[in-house]
Chains A and B, each alone.
Chain A
Amino acid sequence: MNALKTKYIYILLLLATMACDDQIFPTLDDGEPVVVIDAFINNKNEPQSITVSQTQPYLNETELLGIEDANVSVTYGVSNTSVVFDHDSNGVYTVDSGFGAIGDNFTLTVVVDGETFVSYSSMNRVPAIDSVTFRYEEFAGFGQDLEFYMGEFWSRDLAGPGDTYWIKAYKNGSFLGKPEELSITFDAGFSSGGIIDDVIFIQPIRDSVNPFDEEDNGDFISPYADGDSLYVEIHSITNETFNYLNELITQTDVEGGFAALFASPLENLNGNIENTNENSDEVALGFFSVSAVEGNGKRLDISEVPIEE
């Protein structure tokens, strides 16, 4: 799909050579700071963190405006086990390890400036990743003659419709965190509309673990080169989290130029964090999500990858 997307973009480029896209410096109103709770936790045996911070003016240099005096805790399971997250630094609250089991319900409670915010999530099932593989690809045209290696992961969606996942990829240990690389799935496909259940994840999703970067001079970089590693994780997410991340992609993966013709309007994300005091005007943005995680990885050795026609 991404190789396809590249071809597609080249063809559109033919049409779009007339379009131009320039940075501008408009004057924006500055909104009042609002509390943001960024709480994506999982069952991995590694430190978990929840960040409590504030919004900032849009065109300021992006920084984390942490709130350091909040109380952050999560309760889970039938026995309502409570886990308190301790402040580490700059609004980041941590515990040493993931917790909970598949099927558990979780409640997040954050107290900030006398306001109590809560949110709910649950830990859903997740399929294992059978393997991670690499393949050789070629692309020729428009003065480009490219040879490159693409990574791919192999896993089968669990039987029964309605499972949602976040596919996270790490190249040489670094998370691929560009908005265009955010990959979420509804069962083995892209959306809830047409049910693609109980099959291997479809090819564009299997291929979504590839970074498409360019050199400073605009040259294409092969997603993976000899010796690079790819580690893929599947995080189970709730349908609500899927919708949130879907909106997040729309608002952050914004293509300019000719694609502006088919852009969506700027809209606020619908978070899942509520104020327990219905009479209070204070709101918190952000999201609370709990995942079960499966992972697998491989290092590319080009001598093992067949070069096909």
Chain B
Amino acid sequence: MKQFILTCVLSFFALITYAQEYSISGYIKDASNGETLIGATVLVKGSSQGVVTNVYGFYSLSLPANTYDIEVRYIGYNTISNQVDLTQGDQRLDLELGTDNLKLEEVVVTAESDDANVTDLQMSSNKLDIKTITKVPSFMGEADVIRSLQLVPGVSSVGEGASGFNVRGGSVGQNMILLDEAPVYNSSHLLGFFSVFNPDAVKDVNLIKGGIPARYGGRISSVLDIRMKEGNNKEFHGQGGIGTIFSRLALEGPIIKNKASFIVAGRRSYIDILAKPFTDVLNGGAALNFYDLTMKANYNINENNRVYVSGYLGRDNFKFDAQQGFNWGNNTATVRWNHIFGQKLFSNFTAIFSDYDYVLAFGDDEDDQFDWNSRIRTYSFKPEFNLFLNPKNELTFGGDISLQQFDPANATVVSDGEALNISLDQKYALEAAVYLSNNHKITNDLQVEYGIRYSKYWLIGPGNSYIYGDAEAGTRKPIEQTVEHNNGEVIQSYDNFEPRLSAKYLINSKNSIKASYNKTNQYIHLISNTTASNPLDVWTPSSNNIKPQTGHQVAAGWFRNFGANNNVEFSVESYYRLTFDQIDYISGADLLINEYLEGDLLSGDGRAYGLELLAKKNEGKLTGWVSYTIAKTELKVDGINDKEWYPTRYDQTHNFKIAAFYEINRRISVSSNFTFLSGTPTTYPNSKYVIQGSYVIPHNNDDERNNVRIPNYHRLDVSTTIELGKLVKNKRYNSELVISIYNLYSRRNPFSIYFTQEDVRPEGEALSQTEARQVAIIGSYIPSISYNFRF
């Protein structure tokens, strides 16, 4: 494989034979703080030639020897042009874009060039600028990355308060969530109400739902690529706020002016501090809090070398007293080195550490205790290269190698003074991938990115593998044999070629059509059989019993811009997605601390299709978007629903959302969003029977799954932001007040319907009665107020 890649790379290098061509390259940055700009357009004025800056804000453009007017555009910033003399040789041109003060306060809906909707090759992606995220009326007034994503087409969830999100019919565990390239295994605080990303430290959020580029892999549904701010390298600034849930503070500034900067951002919930005077439950070691800390520093060694170090740590703590409770959290660390070889080859080397763990402890005294922790750890290294070969070809190639360490349970039980260790063995998996992709402008109108990713996976010893016997579909498979494996021995391996293809045809400057296909593979699996994923869910590696998941997706769409400045964007996309070897569960599956977990897992196929419409207005006093998705997502599993297709728990037929932002004047703006979702499926019984006089069992004669839909969901949220202006003498100090109401008309939106026997103790021989009940997670309107400042 290595040779194959080398040959490919070399043959592409051999293409560099254009006579008398020189390159212009450099970084595009924000003039106010030195942050690099991702996706800025660098154009040769008067021609259609141009490139877009990569995720590090770097561009390179090769042109025949001549003098050019180079124009750089980025929405929300002033366009600048610069004359460049390319007759003498390669040129380095780092540029900084400024903003008008007037534009500064406007909500910028997309952070990219103004015609990107039509001209960008990438389809099926939604970028959210952090300014947009902070303007969306939010739950409890806390700006939230993942909740904001719920407003874009193609994204759904099992319901309010549920952790994670579902993209184009994929499950929560099929999304790759990357924070500065480090995978984040649990994106939620407080079980699912808030996401773990601190908006003060986030620079760019990009959700890729289809046409996934070859450089991403490891999950079959989507990629959520979150980039942190680098920190202002010109002057020291801070921002923060006091909200209903969190207090936040972020500090950023230069370490060496224009060369090195840092950002540190922290948040902590303080419901426990507020509650303390009212209850003594929180004394004696009891705790209820969650916090996160995000840090990043970068150093611009010289114009060809730059290093970044970033880290995240977050934790949720629930303690009943000093000894008992549970807590969980993610830690990530990323070290990156950007190096520019010559003018055309941009490289990035990333070393990543990511860890998710949880701890539970129960027991009043030493004689009777239960202690349990579980973790998943990833160490990875990713070299990545962007070769700006010529104006028509931009190559991306690289690799990715990750060691994953699974620790499903480290547990001890003490019963009446006798201790037992019930830990499960650790598991180790190695995942490696190489990829090569070319972004090829075939003509001025036709652009194609074709690539291939080759992924390989090894489950390695020490550890056991298990051989199971046959069982009736949907029931526990009996263990027949346990095989021990030595340190380093390959227990099982898999490999896959994952082709990726995206194409764009520009009909004219306002119209384009795009299409894409991607195959994706996933080697590790989130094990969760509850409605919403919870912090105790574990990840498990593929093995002789669990095959890797495979996803195929085709998508096609029409993209149209309106208005003089392309300020209204419209798109319609359709997709069809097929997945294989998805995980499901037998009824009564025992998922935690179970050595024979694999005997309780089922495997099935999925299919999903839909149509997504999005209209967006990017500039002016009124901005926002309208999004509509009509979709279906189904599963077929041997052992569930008689092996017939059934809709998933998060299948939403209609999904309609409006987000609107209006600037009344320079000090006051209002925002609103409205959501309408079709009811999600659930299972109704059609009969019941009594066991042992006490237990009334619901039964469905046809053994159906998700045969009925709960009522529709709709909700309106509003908020207003009032700039308080420079209240303090220090001129730099600015503050604002954000008042918001979530679920304005107090609708008790159903989360689920369940069937149960009455919770009363029947007298004598009487039998329990049964009833149907409906749950609303948020049963009323939730007002909140927060105060934000920056200096």
Give the number of chain B interface residues (Cβ < 8 Å).
102
Q: A188 with B593: in contact, given A61-B769, A254-B755 (CB under 8 Å)? A: no
Cross-chain contact of A55 among B370, B699, B770 (Cβ < 8 A): B699
Q: Which of B362, B588, B597, B701 has the most CB of A within 10 A?
A: B588
A264 to B474, CA, bound (A): 15
Residue of A nearest to B766 (CB): A62
Task: Check: B492 CB closer than 8 A to any chain A CB.
Answer: no
| Contact of A40 with B698 at beta-carbon distance under 8 Å, contacts A14-B271, A202-B368, A263-B754 already known | no
Q: Is B5 an interface residue (CB 8 A)?
A: no
Are A175 and B748 in contact, CB atoms less than 8 angstroms apart?
no
The answer to whether A32 touches B418 (Cβ under 8 A) is no
Stretch at the interface among B195-203, B428-436, B684-692, B713-721: B684-692
Point out the residues of chain B lying under 8 angstroms from A28, CB to CB.
684-686, 772
* Complex interface: chain A residues within 8 A of B708 (CB): 26
Least Cβ–Cβ distance between B195 and chain A, in angstroms: 16
Q: Which residue on chain A has the smallest CB distance to residue B365?
A: A203
Whether a CB of chain A sits under 8 angstroms from the CB of B382 is no
Measured in the bound complex, the distance between the Cα atoms of B702 and A30 in whole Å is 11
The chain B residue sitting closest to A24, CB to CB, is: B774
Contact with B along A95-112 (1 / 0, CB 8 A): 000000000000000000
Interface hit among A74-82, A119-127, A245-253, A295-303: A245-253
Question: Is A94 in contact with chain B by the CB < 8 A criterion?
Answer: no
Q: Is the beta-carbon distance between B686 and A260 smaller than 8 angstroms?
A: no
* A265 close to B (CB within 8 Å): yes
A195 is an interface residue with CB less than 8 A from chain B: yes
| A151 interfacial contact with B, CB 8 Å | no
Q: How far, in Å, is A159 (CB) from chain B's closest CB?
A: 13
Cβ-based interface call for A196 (8 A): yes
| B191 CB contacts on chain A under 8 angstroms | 261
User: In the complex, A138→B683 CA distance in Å?
Assistant: 41
Contact check, B689 vs A7: say whether CB atoms are below 8 A apart: no
Contact B698 A251 (CB under 8 A): yes
B773 touches A270 (CB 8 A): no
| B753 interface hit (Cβ, 8 Å) | yes
Q: Given that A31-B687, A252-B697 are known contacts, is A62 also in contact with B705, CB under 8 Å in the complex? A: no
Please pick, from A26, A140, A200, A262, the residue contacting B418 in the complex, using a CB distance under 8 A. A200
Find out whether the CB atom of A261 lies under 8 angstroms from the CB atom of B777.
yes
List of A residues within 8 angstroms of B700 by Cβ: 31, 266, 268
**B683:A263 contact, CB within 8 angstroms:** no
CB distance from A58 to the nearest CB of B (A): 5
Is B753 within 8 A of A26, CB to CB? yes
Q: Flag if A25 contacts B755 (CB, 8 Å).
A: no
Given A23-B772, A34-B701, does the pair A15, B190 have CB atoms closer than 8 Å? Answer: yes
Cα–Cα distance between A270 and B693 once the two chains are bound (Å): 19
Given contacts A18-B779, A262-B534, contact A270 B587 (CB under 8 A): yes
A10 to B674 alpha-carbon distance, docked (Å): 33
B85-93, B275-283, B609-617, B724-732 - interface stretch:
B275-283
Chain A window 240-283, contacts with chain B (Cβ cutoff 8 Å), 1 for yes, 0 for no: 00010011101110101110111111111110000000000000
Are A20 and B779 neighbours in the complex by a CB distance under 8 Å? Answer: yes
Q: Residues of A contacting B223 with CB < 8 Å?
A: none
- Among B691, B693, B754, B755, chain A packs the most CB atoms within 10 A around the CB of B691
Compute how far the CA of A48 lies from the CA of B733 in the bound complex, rounded to whole angstroms: 81
Instruction: Indicate whether A24 sits within 8 Å of B772 (C-beta atoms), given known contacts A56-B688, A193-B594, A254-B755.
Output: yes
B775 touches A256 (CB 8 A): yes
Chain A contacts for B493, CB-based, 8 A = none
- Min C-beta distance of A187 to chain B, whole Å: 10
Contacts of A202 in B (CB 8 A): 368, 370, 413, 415
- Give CA–CA (A287, B193) in the complex, Å: 41
A53 interfacial contact with B, CB 8 Å: yes
Chain B residues, Cβ within 8 Å of A267: 587, 683, 705
Asked if A229 is at the interface (CB within 8 A of a chain B CB), the reply is no
Q: How far is the CB of A150 from chain B (nearest CB, A)?
A: 11
For chain A residues 183-234, which have a beta carbon within 8 Å of chain B? 188-189, 191-197, 199-204, 211, 213
B424 touches A (CB below 8 Å) = yes
- Min Cβ gap A65→B in Å is 9
Which of B15-23, B384-392, B452-460, B525-533 has 4 or more CB atoms under 8 Å from chain A? Answer: B525-533
Contact B594 A19 (CB under 8 A): no
Find out whether the CB atom of B772 lies under 8 angstroms from the CB atom of A32: no
Q: Do A4 and B324 have beta carbons less than 8 Å apart?
A: yes
- Give bound CA distance, A28 to B770, whole Å: 13
Does chain A have a CB within 8 A of B696? yes
Distance in Å from the Cβ of B189 to the closest Cβ of chain A? 12
| Stretch from B71-79, B165-173, B177-185, B756-764 forming part of the interface with A | B756-764
Query: Which A residues touch B265, using CB under 8 A?
Result: none
1/0 per residue, CB under 8 A from A, across B289-321: the answer is 000000000000000000000000000001011
Given A200-B415, A263-B531: A58 in contact with B698 (beta carbons within 8 A): yes
- A241, chain B: closest CB distance, angstroms: 12
The reply to whether the CB of A63 lies closer than 8 angstroms to some CB of chain B is yes
With contact pairs A64-B690, A254-B756 given, residues A264 and B530 touching in the complex (Cβ less than 8 Å): yes
User: In chain B, residues 662-719, which have Cβ atoms closer than 8 Å to a Cβ of chain A?
Assistant: 682-703, 705-706, 708
Q: Which of A18, A21, A175, A211 contacts B773 (CB 8 A)?
A: A21
Instruction: State whether A18 and B777 are in contact (beta carbons under 8 Å apart), knowing that A192-B594, A265-B683 are contacts in the complex.
Output: yes
Counting CB contacts under 8 A, is A36 at the interface?
Answer: yes
* B627 is an interface residue with CB less than 8 A from chain A: no
A261 to B754, CA, bound (A): 12
Least CB separation from A181: chain B residue: B694
Q: A141 near B: Cβ within 8 Å?
A: yes
Contacts of B288 in A (CB 8 A): 11, 14
Cβ of B161 to closest chain A Cβ, rounded Å:
6
| Interface membership of A68, Cβ < 8 A | no
B694 contacts A22, C-beta separation under 8 Å: no
- CB-CB nearest in chain A for B681: A265
A278 to B124, CA, bound (A): 52
User: Is B767 close to A, CB under 8 A?
Assistant: yes
Alpha-carbon gap, A257 to B418, bound state (A): 38
Residue in contact with A263 in the complex, picked from B530, B587, B706, CB distance below 8 Å = B530
Is A38 in the interface zone, CB < 8 Å from B? yes
Q: How far is the CA of A125 from the CA of B243 in the complex (A)?
A: 60
Residues of chain B within 8 A (CB-CB) of A260 are: 531, 751-752, 754, 775, 777
Does B534 lie within 8 Å of A58, measured CB to CB?
no
B684 touches A55 (CB 8 A): no
Query: Which of B689, B699, B770, B774 has the most chain A CB atoms inside 10 A of its CB?
Result: B689
**Nearest-neighbor residue (CB-CB) of A287 within chain B:** B691
Residues of A within 8 A of B755 (CB): 58, 254, 266
Which residues of A, 163-194, contact B by the 8 Å Cβ criterion? 175, 177-179, 182, 188-189, 191-194
Given contacts A26-B753, A262-B534, whether A56 and B689 have CB atoms under 8 Å apart is yes
Interface string of B389-425 (1 = CB under 8 A from A): 0000000000000000000010101011010101110
Tell me, in angstroms, the Cα distance from A39 to B755 when the chains sit together.
25
Contacts of B695 in A (CB 8 A): 177, 179, 182, 248, 252
Q: List 24 A-B contacts (CB under 8 A).
A: A10-B281, A14-B271, A18-B782, A20-B748, A24-B753, A26-B753, A29-B686, A30-B686, A56-B687, A59-B771, A62-B696, A178-B694, A182-B695, A188-B415, A194-B423, A194-B594, A196-B422, A243-B476, A243-B588, A247-B587, A256-B775, A257-B775, A260-B777, A266-B700
Question: Shortest 7 CB-CB distances between A and B: which pairs?
Answer: A194-B422, A177-B694, A141-B281, A193-B594, A20-B779, A31-B701, A31-B686
Which residue numbers of B lie inside 8 Å of A, CB to CB?
A: 159, 161-162, 190-193, 271, 275, 279-281, 286, 288, 318, 320-321, 324, 362-364, 368, 370, 409, 411, 413, 415-416, 418, 420, 422-424, 474-476, 529-532, 534, 587-588, 590, 592-597, 649, 682-703, 705-706, 708, 748, 751-757, 759, 761-762, 767-780, 782
12 further contact pairs, Cβ within 8 A, besides A19-B779, A20-B776, A55-B687 = A7-B281, A23-B772, A57-B686, A58-B684, A64-B767, A140-B281, A177-B693, A194-B413, A203-B364, A251-B697, A256-B754, A256-B773
